[in-house]
Each structure stands twice: as C-alpha cells, then as structure tokens.
Structure 1
C-alpha cells in the first residue's frame, strides 16, 4: 500500500493490472534491494585511501546563504522568466543540444558515469560510443523504458541498470506514460492520479551510500528526470556528498505544474553548487554542466 504524493489517495498493487510489465517484486520492493557496491570496479586512482570510507561523514555545507549569495539568488529569481526563455531557445537551436553528449571529453576507460533518468537511452548510447567509460550506471523507473534499455545494452557488461528513480524519499506512484515513448513522464505534471504504470523512487543519499560513493569519486553524474533534478541536487548538497562528483550535468524542468517553488530552489542550488563547483557550460533553466573547482 502507498499514498499518492499529490492526491493523497491510498493505492494497492492489487488495484491495477500489470500493464507496463511490472512484476510482483516491483510492487513489493523499493528497488534498493538490488543495489550493489561499485568500489571494486572503480580504478584505484579514484578510490578513497581511508579504510573506513564506507562510514565517512561528509562535511555538511552551511544551509544558510551568505549575504552575497542571498543577493545573487534574489537576482536569479528576478530574471528567471527571461533567462529561462533565453536558455531554452539557445539550447534547442540547431545541434546545440548535443553538447550534453560531446562536452565530456575527459571521460575514458577509467571513468564511472551515473545516468539518472535513462529514458530511451539516447544520451547513454552517445556517451558510451564516444568515450567508452569503464562503468556506466543507468536509473530508469518506467518499466517499459527500462526493459528497452536492458535490450539495448544486453551485450555491454560495463552498463548496470536499475528500475527506479531517485528523490528525497522511498515512494511509489502510478503514472500515465507521456510523450514520445514515455520521454515526458513525470510525477510533477499531476500525472500520478490513477495512472496505469508504476513508478518507484528511492532516497538519493541511501542509494549513493549503498553503491559506495563515500569510497570513490565519480567522473560524471548526468541527471534528466522531468523534475526530480531538484530533489536529487538538494540531497547531494545537504549531505555533503556533492564533492564526490567531479562533473555534474543536469537538466531543469521549472514549468511542471506540481513542482514547488522551482525558481527559488533552482537559484539556491546555483549558489550552493558554486561553493564546490564551477560552470563548464550553461543554458540556464534548461541544461548545464559543472566541474569541481580543484579540477583543471
């Protein structure tokens, strides 16, 4: 049994047919039960030298913004409609959008990549073909899309797939699959009111601890999950775990109907992320990538 975030309706897996290919386990389990650590697969140069790294407590970022950061956040909020239009128009002009694939020339056979929101596998396929990273982990919560990804990467043992997404809490929703083949499905469209497909999300911090992030650095995390980017980035920042990611790329979906306070949250994420990372490309409110400050 679980309750819809937006409607408060209590759902049971027995209420629905398994119309999107879900199994009994999908209804009963969170998905985290299948997660395995990647520590042994990560090259030594990216691993922590601390034997007790799995128990590592990251320094918590100051949750309060400085006076300067508050000023910059206020300016960001003031300009968000104009900047959203500008960033969106520029990113989708011509072939500019493919910067999300081609930008990451630092990736190589030693790299670990996390792809949150695998969708149809377009981004994963492009990055793997161009840079052949040593480990590529994809999370995709919609079972039909997940099954297609399993087929797409069945012959690539460097790819690990998980059938859930990330958020602040472990939760389950029923959604209608939207867009071209499901690429616009989101719980933030008001789309979890009696839909036909199960969508599971797991706590961001719990997932990354379980997969071993405290014990190694990740070359790239790319996040494109129709609104969940806000909660993931907020979790990574509040936990202090953000420092384990050398490069961070994320999309932004600020106009989703049920996304709360997108302008305030995006602008605060920007200010807190500046403490540890710097922009490497940016189409504000659309797509952007950041590099940790100590990386040349």
Structure 2
C-alpha cells in the first residue's frame, strides 16, 4: 500500500513539473515574440542611418567648387598616309602632335593682366547657352539672307586703297605690357607691322606650314619676346596634307587642298586644350588676331563654347566664306556674330572680310 502511494506521488510530481515547464516555455515564447515585434516596428519606423563617406587624405576638396576645366589629351593622327612633301617636314612632324612642349606664359605676363587667384589654372569657365534667343535667331536669319551682298561690299571696301592696313593700325591700346596671339602667322607681315608700331611685351605666333614657320624663325630670331609654334588650331587634334596657294605660296587652306593631292603636312591641335596649356585661365590676352584660311570658324566657335572668350580683350579675325569645302559658312558666321555680341562689341568691321571686337567692359 505504501509503495502504491509513493508511485502516485511521483506521477503527480511529474505532471506538475511538466505543467510548470510548459508554462515557462509559453511565457518565454511570448516574451521573445513581443520583443521581436518591438524590434521590427522600430526598424520599420526608424529613419535610415546616415551614409558614411570614408575620409580621403590629400584631396583638397573645395566646398561648392565647380568642376575643373575640361582637359583634352595630346592626340595625333597616327593613321595619316606618309608621302613625300615639299615643305621640309621632319620625322617628328609626322610622329608628334606639335604642342608637346607648350608651357604656360603666366610668369612672363604683366601683373596687371594676371589673375590674383592662386588656383587660376583650374578655373571653371561657365559655358554659354549654345542656343540663340528668338531675337538672336531673327538677326541671324537676316544676316544669312544678305550675306552675299554684304560680302561683296565688305571685301570691296577693305581692299580699296590702304584700308586693309586697319588690321595693323587699329590697335593703339597695345603697349609693352600687352600679350598678342597671332593665329596664322604666314610670312609675318601682320606680326612685323604691329611689333614695330606697338612693341607688345609678348607676341605668340602659330604657323602650321613648315616652310613658313622656318622663315618666321629667321625673321624674328633676334626678337626675344616672340614665341613661335609650328602647328595651327582647330576643333580637334589632327594631321592632313594641304596645298600651298596664293601669290608666292603664302596662303594655305585645308579646304582648298585635300589629303590625297596636298603637298604639305599640316598639324592642328584642339583650341581649348592649347589655351589651357598656354595658361590663358590665369591672364588676359590683349589681342587675338586670326587669319588662317578657313580655320577661323572652328577657332571662334571653340573660344565661345569653352567660355574663355572673355579672357580676350580684343578679337580680330579674317573670314574666308567662299572656300568650296567650308560647310555652312553663312550660317556659322552669322551665329558667331550673335554669340560674340553677348561679350564684345564691334570696333571696326568689314563684314565677311576683316573685323575687330572689343570686350564690353573696356572703354
């Protein structure tokens, strides 16, 4: 009997223990579910953690600074077909772009034309609106409509008597502090006239034809303030063959010759890249004069599109609209006119022939 009570007591104890264990497990599960729901709700309703950006050393980041100016790499047309030429080209002329040795002129520029910004080399130039306004479009269309008559009138007036020499005599603002860029040096007639008359402090000449470049080097060998480079400017770096035309072989044009029939190698580099190389963001150029048998369109378009047109106090250029391979000359000339009006005003003009523009802030 006694053993029977013992067995019953053990069974009852086991049942109680089982009930207590099950109750404990139930409470634990409820606690876990409750905390899990609280954590889930917290995750759902809490804002995301801030994005962590790793600290970089030696980055020199300037708050709200604009992007640096576009830099175009040195490129040359390595696929040009080699052939005998008549202008004295060397092996380097065929293998190099021509602007590899270009360095900034900044240290040679008069202080009054230099920028005070120590970071000027990385200066950002806001790009102008490439689209014309309705009023600019109206004037462009009117310009295109009368271009042939205006060309005859401008050309006739410019070449009458001694009028043509206005391109030399007009620039009375030039002095020993001035820097001049002469794009298309040719035989040096314009350079020699302005140097003798105004004695600018720095005179840079670009001449892509080797024979003409060599002649210029001889003419100005004693002029320490003249800097000569044997390449031209365009929209992109390139090499091609051209014919030498004009009286005594003093005119060249990529539009008058062609790669198959041309007898002289011509190298051009991207206009914007050259301006960055020569340091134009760090100083103002008193005068840029452009006379390069058709390349003036691409150079002016690049100057304007880059935003660096404002670095040039005076802009003088010749226009050659009748070259047969020049595309859309009237439309391009008239659009250039409208975009130049945004920053400069005309100081003399023989339309479609020669003209000069002065920056608006200059008296």
With structure 1 as the length reference, what TM-score do the two structures score? 0.95
Q: Which has the larger radius of gyration?
A: 2
- Does structure 1 retain, via aligned residues, the 8 Å contact 2:80–2:239? no
Match of 1:167 among 224, 230, 234: 234
Aligned partner of 2:268 among 197, 201, 204 = 201
Contact 1:2 1:12 in 2 (8 A): no
Structure 1 residue 189 displacement after superposition? 1.7
- Shifted more, 182-191 versus 143-152: the winner is 182-191
The match for 1:178 is 245
SS at match of 2:252: coil
SS in 2 for 1:238: helix
The 2-side partners of 1:19 and 1:59 are apart by: 44
Q: 1:1-296 to 2 correspondence within 5 Å? A: 2=77, 11-13=80-82, 16-296=83-363
Query: Residues 234 and 295 of structure 2 are in contact (CA less than 8 Å); yes or no, is this contact kept in structure 1?
Result: yes
2:242–2:256 contact (8 Å) kept in structure 1: no
2:243–2:257 CA contact under 8 A, matched in 1? no
**How far apart, CA to CA, are the structure 2 residues paired with 1:204 and 1:106?**
25
Q: CA-to-partner distance for each residue in 1:120-150, whole Å, 9 max, x for gaps?
A: 1000000000000000000000000000000
Range with greater deviation from structure 2 (41-50 or 224-233): 41-50
CA distance in 2, matches of 1:102, 1:11: 41
CA distance in 2, matches of 1:291, 1:198: 34
Residue-by-residue CA offset, 1:165-216 (whole Å, 9 max, x unaligned): 0000100011221112332210012443332211000100000100000000
Q: Secondary structure at the match of 2:164?
A: helix
Shift of 1:12: 2.6
| Matched residues, number | 288
Contact kept, 8 Å, 2:99 with 2:269, in 1: the verdict is yes
The whole-number CA distance in structure 2 between the counterparts of 1:159 and 1:135 is 6
Contiguous gaps of at least 5 residues in structure 2? 1-75
C-alpha distance in structure 2 between counterparts of 1:64 and 1:90, whole Å:
33
Cα-to-partner distance string for 1:21-59 (whole Å, 9 max, x where unaligned): 111111111111021110000011101111111011111
CA distance, structure 1, for counterparts of residue 277 and residue 103 of structure 2: 7
- Structure 1: which 5+ runs fail to align? 4-9
Q: Distance in 2 between matches of 1:103 and 1:175?
A: 32
Report the aligned-residue RMSD: 1.2
Deviation at 1:2, TM superposition (A): 4.1
Q: Decide whether the 8 Å contact of 2:241 with 2:257 is kept in 1.
A: no
In the alignment, is the contact (CA less than 8 A) between 1:20 and 1:198 conserved in 2?
Answer: yes
